[in-house]
Amino acid sequence: MPVSDISYRKRFLTKDNVYLPHLVIIEKIIDETPDTRTFHFNFKDKGLREEFPFKSGQFGEYSIFGIGEAPFCISSSPTRYDRLEFTVRRVGSLTNALHRLSVGAEIGFRGPYGNGFPLDLLEDKNLVFVAGGIGLAPLRSLIWNVIDNRDKYKNIDIIYGARSPADLCFKYDLKNWDKDKSINMVTTVDKGDKTWKGRVGFVPQVLEEVAPSADSAVAIACGPSIMIRFTFPVLAKLGFTPEQMITTLEKRMKCGIGKCGRCNIGNLYVCRDGPVFTYAQIKDFISDEY
């Protein structure tokens, strides 16, 4: 399963060793929700940013030396050269340690890995983004990418939900996209609070209400697996074919390059052959272990 731009990425290795991380500096930390933070970072060797090739939907392996390493998607857009970003929910030992970092901290980064979103498939199409919780992180990279090349794409719908208003990530982006007249932005929460005046309802249910047309459209969904499992049938009901539905999968990964073994679904490695798949591909997976 060849990775198309591998030769270019190989030139980006440190000392020809794919496991040796680049040193990067945390430049800014944003509290997204009570348990989720976005980190802006840049290479310690600043010149590397210009050379650093990545696509929306690709991921990196981030490490705190002495604690460990874990994969997170790059949540900023490749069209924005001033910085790179990743977004982390506090759930395990490394993510907790990341949340304890301050601006100026030096961490390890290697990547980019994985296939990324198929931009050529999205061109001249109506785009429907469906995201839940921190699942907006990889889509956000793609959304900014698309906005920065707005004339290449047609209508844009964004349906985004979280458990509660406090759990909505990237509120500053949501505001921007809401103001953008070329985007239909729909935000929802599972359960509102006193100040919440917006929609209330689960993402798949709201998607059905918004009912974007499947005509010349592609839907890109990311969120908790339970949300994804309920989203595909709704999309199908709206007339989307399996080829018109795209998602990005999450697995425990260590190496990021198809060697350490654990992220396989049947014969495919999510790190090497994914993490972005169409529902047509997912339907053909040998295994339901995703």
Partner 1 sequence: MNQKISKKDISKLLDELGKEFKVFSPSRESGVTTFAEWDGRDSSFLEWYRNTVISPKAQLQPLYEKMFSFHKDKEGYHLELPPPTDKKLIFGIRPCDAKALTIIDKTFQDTYQDPYYLDKRKNTLLVGLGCTNPYDSCFCTSLGLSPTQSSDVDLMLTDIGDEFLIEAVTDRGMKLIKKTSYLKEVTKTDEAKAEEARRQASSKVTRRLDTKDLAKRLLSSFDDQDFWEKVSNKCISCGICTLLCPTCYCFDISDELVKKEGSRFRSGDSCAFPVYTKMPMENPRLEKWRRVRQKVCHKYEFYPMSFEVIACSGCGRCIRLCPVNWDITQILASLPVKVKA
Which of 259, 280, 283, 284 is the binder for partner 1 (CB under 8 A)?
Answer: 259
> With respect to partner 1, which residue has the nearer C-beta, 37 or 272?
272
Give the nearest distance from C-beta 109 to partner 1 in angstroms: 12
d(CA 40, CA 135): 18
Q: Does the footprint of partner 1 cover residue 53 (CB under 8 A)? A: no
Which of 1, 11, 124, 179 is the binder for partner 1 (CB under 8 A)?
Answer: 1
Using an 8 Å Cβ cutoff, are 115 and 275 in contact? Answer: yes
Give the nearest distance from C-beta 67 to partner 1 in angstroms: 6
Element (H, E) at 192: none
Which residues make beta-bridge pairs with 37? 31, 88
* Binding residues among 170-229 for partner 1 as defined by CB under 8 A: 224-225
Q: Does the footprint of partner 1 cover residue 262 (CB under 8 A)? A: yes
**Closest Cα partner for 202 from 160, 239, 171, 244?**
160
Q: Does the footprint of partner 1 cover residue 92 (CB under 8 A)? A: yes
What sign results for the dihedral spanned by CA atoms 226, 229, 234, 235? positive
Using an 8 Å Cβ cutoff, are 75 and 87 in contact? Answer: yes
Q: Does the footprint of partner 1 cover residue 3 (CB under 8 A)? A: yes
Q: CA end-to-end span of the chain, whole Å?
A: 19
What sign results for the dihedral spanned by CA atoms 253, 255, 260, 264? positive
Which of 257, 276, 279, 282 is the binder for partner 1 (CB under 8 A)?
Answer: 257
Which residues make beta-bridge pairs with 199? 188
The region of 64-72, 144-152, 154-162, 209-217 touching partner 1 under the rule CB under 8 A is 64-72
The residue written with tokens 């396989």 in the block is: 264
Q: What are phi and psi of 53, to 5 degrees?
A: -95, 125
* Binding residues among 4-43 for partner 1 as defined by CB under 8 A: 6, 10, 14-21, 23
Q: Does the footprint of partner 1 cover residue 258 (CB under 8 A)? A: yes
Give the nearest distance from C-beta 252 to partner 1 in angstroms: 5
Starting at the edge strand that comes first in sequence, how are the strands of the sheet with 84-89 ordered? 68-73, 59-64, 106-113, 22-33, 36-43, 84-89
Q: What are phi and psi of 160, to 5 degrees?
A: -130, 135
Q: Does the footprint of partner 1 cover residue 68 (CB under 8 A)? A: yes
Which of 85, 157, 208, 250 is the binder for partner 1 (CB under 8 A)?
Answer: 250
Give the nearest distance from C-beta 173 to partner 1 in angstroms: 24
- Is the bond preceding 138 in cis, omega lying within 30 degrees of 0? no
Q: Does the footprint of partner 1 cover residue 286 (CB under 8 A)? A: yes
> With respect to partner 1, which residue has the nearer C-beta, 115 or 187?
115
Which residues are at the interface with partner 1 (CB under 8 A)?
Answer: 1-3, 6, 10, 14-21, 23, 44, 63, 65-69, 91-92, 95, 106, 108, 224-225, 250-252, 254-255, 257-267, 272, 286-287, 289-290
